[in-house]
Amino acid sequence: MGSRGRRGGALGLLLYLGLTAELAGGCLHCDPNFSEKFCYYRHHVNLKSWWVGDIPVSGMLLTEWSQNTMKELHLAIPAEITREKLDQVAGAVYQRMDQLYQGKIYFPGYFPNELRAIFREQVRLIQNAIIESRIDCQHHCGIFQYGTISCTNCTDSHVVCFGYHCKSSAQWETAVQGLLSYINAWHQQDTQMRNTPAFLSPNIRYLDPQHLINLTLEHASECLTQH
């Protein structure tokens, strides 16, 4: 029994290490509970189907969850999500996964199909969360930024946007002045280190100060790249 117990513990450790090694990229894996949750899901997958063929298929789906998430996001903007929205996505995914694992042994094909459905729903939730935050950001007047987590490496990041929702010409003038200051500061940053916000298209990135000061709302709408 002791030998079998040690082998079982070693197998669990290998599964955990193998799982975490594969998790390069994704969004959900940035949640602090992800490793523990998916290690449990992966370790108990052999108890969920009458058909032995479902086990390796389901195991692969779980092991490649994060890297497949990045492949399926298909975003034209960086995959950066707020902590609040990440918590919401993680809670929804774990709830569905926990419900799936509460069931008894399933008929052939059912379990991996349910995993695929949860995966697709997770991708949709992440896409919506990232895009909604961008839209909300652009509902401000002028330069605005909010804190995010990079889905690529789980480091803290932030998104900078330019909002058009100015209620007066004075607010718009202040917004344009802020844009001018931002671009000037951006030009002074190390080209190897700086990030280029999505709204800084080449049309406006290289405008000279005089043209930028006289920028109108209509001209800005043409020059600023919106996502």
**Burial of 102: CB neighbours in 10 Å, binned 0-12, 13-18, 19+:** exposed
Q: What is the pLDDT of residues 203-214, one digit of tens each?
A: 555 555 556 556
Q: Give the domain ranges of the chain.
A: 2-135, 166-227
The torsion angles phi and psi of 107, rounded to 5 degrees, stand at -70, 160
List Cα–Cα distances, 206 to 80, 194, 198, 209, in angstroms: 26, 16, 14, 9
User: Which ranges in 34-168 belong to alpha helices (H)?
Assistant: 34-43, 54-63, 65-73, 83-102, 110-137
Q: What is the pLDDT of residues 77-110, one digit of tens each?
A: 889 999 999 999 999 999 999 999 997 888 888 9
CB atoms within 10 A of CB 83: 13
Q: How far apart are CA 94 and CA 46, in angstroms?
A: 19
Contact present, 118 and 61 (Cβ < 8 Å): no
Which position has the token pair 């079998």? 4
Q: Can you give the pTM of this predicted structure?
A: 0.75
Q: What is the pLDDT of residues 131-184, one digit of tens each?
A: 999 899 888 999 999 999 999 999 998 888 888 888 988 888 888 888 888 887
Q: How far apart are CA 85 and CA 116, in angstroms?
A: 22
